[in-house]
Amino acid sequence: MEAKASHRLARVSARKARLVADLIRNRQVGEVLELLTFVEKKSAGFLRAVVESAVANAEHQAERENKRVDVDTLYVKEVTVDQGPSLRRFRPRARGMATKVLKKTSHITVVLGGGEV
């Protein structure tokens, strides 16, 4: 069984979010949630919310199909962090000029596998 969840337009750059995503790939869900609780990065909160949503999606999908799912055997099968659109802001500079500041966003997707009983 596969369950999927995503968070679009997360206000963190994809490069920074990938650092945390690499930590949770191919691990059990319980271990991942515990790990993300103590990682002191902004993207850890986003990833934790997406993993929790994917677990809820797995439970809902199993309920719809009249199957049972064992949450303890679910694992993170795939994590992708893609670049989203950038917010463009301008900062005043010397001699009346302005500099463009790009505030990056990202799309985070988590796919869970396993869990069949």
**Tell me, what's the pLDDT at 1?**
84
Label each residue of 74-115 as H, E or C.
CEEEEEEEEECCCEEEEEECHHHCEEEEEECCEEEEEEEECC
Q: pLDDT 10s digit of each residue in the chain, 117 long?
A: 899 999 999 999 999 999 999 999 999 999 999 999 999 999 999 999 999 999 999 999 999 999 999 999 999 999 999 999 999 999 999 999 999 999 999 999 999 999 887
Which amino acid is located at 59 in the chain?
E
Give the integer Cα–Cα distance in Å for 73 and 18.
24
Domain extent at residue 104: 3-113
Tell me, what CATH number does 24's domain have? 3.90.470.10
How many domains is the chain built from? 1
What is the distance of C-alpha 69 from the center of its chain? 22
**Tell me, what's the pLDDT at 116?**
82
